[in-house]
C-alpha cells in the first residue's frame, strides 16, 4: 500500500563521528525532517550510548527525536525534555504502565511515540494507538547500528497502516537504498537511517536516494 503521508527521513546520529557531532549534524540538517538520537542503557539493550548531557550539546534547528532503549524510561523523560528533545519514543517492552508513560511525555509538551521490537505484536499497543503521535516499528533488534533489515516486519507495517490510515509510522534499522522502497510500499512514512547515510560522503545524495527509492 502506498502511504498517503509524505516520506520523512530521520538520520540516526549513532553512526556519526561523535567527536565531531555538530559538524556531522550540519551535513544532514538541511535535507532531513528530524534528528534521531539513540539512547541505550546496557540493560534493555546490550549497548550503552549517550544521555541528556550529550543531547544538550546538539546544535540543530531540526526537532530532536530521542529513542529511549532504556528500562524505566519514566525516570529520564524529564531530563531529555530539558536537554532539548521534541519527540520521545519509549519501548512498549519497558513500560508496564504504557498509558501513564505516554501521558508523562505529553504533559511535558512533547510528542510521544511508542516503539516495538520485531517480535512484539501490534496487539500490545492497540489500546493506546489514539493517544500517541507516532509508532516506531523496529526493523532490527535494537542495540546496534549497521544490522541487517528483518523482513518479517513488513507485514506488521502493512497491518498497522490498515489499523490507522493517518498514523505516522516510523521504521528503524537496516534502512538503505535497497530496503527503503519496501518499507514505504508496506506503509511506513518516516525512515530512520544511520550507517547508510553516514557511510556516504555525500549526505544530500544519501538522503535523496532514500526519499526516491
175 is in the binding site of which of Zn ion, ligand DX5, none (Cβ under 5 to 8 A by kind)? ligand DX5
Kindly report the number of other CB atoms within 10 A of residue 127's CB atom.
Answer: 10
Residues 6+ apart with CB under 8 A from 49: 14, 38, 39, 40
14 is in the binding site of which of Zn ion, ligand DX5, none (Cβ under 5 to 8 A by kind)? ligand DX5
Catalytic, out of 41, 127, 172, 177? 172
Angle (CA) 98-111-119 rounded to 5° is: 45
Q: Does 172 bind Zn ion (CB under 5 A)?
A: yes
Give me the least distance between CB of 172 and Zn ion, in Å please: 4
Residues 98-157 that bind Zn ion (CB under 5 A): none
Beta 190-193 vs 8-11: how paired, if at all? parallel
Binding residues (CB under 6 A) for ligand DX5: these are 12, 14-15, 36, 38, 67, 140, 142-143, 145-147, 172-175, 192-196
Kindly tell me the burial class for residue 96, based on how many C-beta atoms sit within 10 Å of its own C-beta (0-12, 13-18, 19 or more).
exposed
- Whole-angstrom CA distances from 108 to 52, 63, 95, 115 are 16, 15, 18, 19
Catalytic, out of 17, 33, 38, 127? 38
Give me the least distance between CB of 170 and ligand DX5, in Å please: 10
Give me the least distance between CB of 165 and ligand DX5, in Å please: 25
Contact 16/198 with Cβ under 8 angstroms?
Answer: yes
Active site annotation includes 172: yes
Active site annotation includes 133: no
Q: Does 170 bind Zn ion (CB under 5 A)?
A: no
* Helix 21-28 / helix 203-212 crossing angle, nearest 10 deg: 50
Give me the least distance between CB of 93 and ligand DX5, in Å please: 13
Residues annotated as catalytic are 38, 172
| Contacting residues toward Zn ion, per CB under 5 A | 38, 67, 172
Amino acid at each position: 500500500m502506498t502511504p498517503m503521508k509524505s516520506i520523512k527521513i530521520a538520520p540516526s546520529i549513532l553512526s556519526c563521528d561523535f567527536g565531531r557531532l555538530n559538524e556531522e549534524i550540519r551535513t544532514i540538517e538541511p535535507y532531513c525532517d528530524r534528528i534521531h538520537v539513540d539512547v541505550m542503557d546496557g540493560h534493555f539493550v546490550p549497548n550503552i550510548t549517550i544521555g541528556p548531557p550529550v543531547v544538550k550539546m546538539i546544535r540543530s534547528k531540526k526537532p530532536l527525536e530521542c529513542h529511549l532503549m532504556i528500562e524505566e524510561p519514566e525516570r529520564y523523560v524529564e531530563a531529555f525534555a530539558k536537554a532539548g528533545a521534541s519527540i520521545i519514543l519509549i519501548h512498549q517492552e519497558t513500560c508496564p504502565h504504557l498509558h501513564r508513560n505516554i501521558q508523562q511525555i505529553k504533559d511535558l509538551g512533547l510528542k510521544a511515540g511508542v516503539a516495538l521490537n520485531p517480535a512484539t505484536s501490534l496487539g500490545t499497543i492497540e489500546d493506546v494507538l489514539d493517544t500517541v503521535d507516532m509508532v516506531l516499528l523496529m526493523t532490527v533488534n535494537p542495540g546496534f547500528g549497521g544490522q541487517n533489515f528483518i523482513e518479517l516486519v513488513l507485514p506488521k507495517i502493512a497491518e498497522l497502516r490498515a489499523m490507522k490510515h493517518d498514523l505516522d509510522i516510523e521504521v528503524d534499522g537496516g534502512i538503505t537504498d535497497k530496503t527503503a522502497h519496501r518499507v514505504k510500499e508496506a506503509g511506513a512514512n518516516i525512515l530512520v537511517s544511520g550507517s547508510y547515510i553516514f557511510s556516504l560522503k555525500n549526505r544530500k545524495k544519501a538522503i535523496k536516494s532514500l526519499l526516491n527509492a
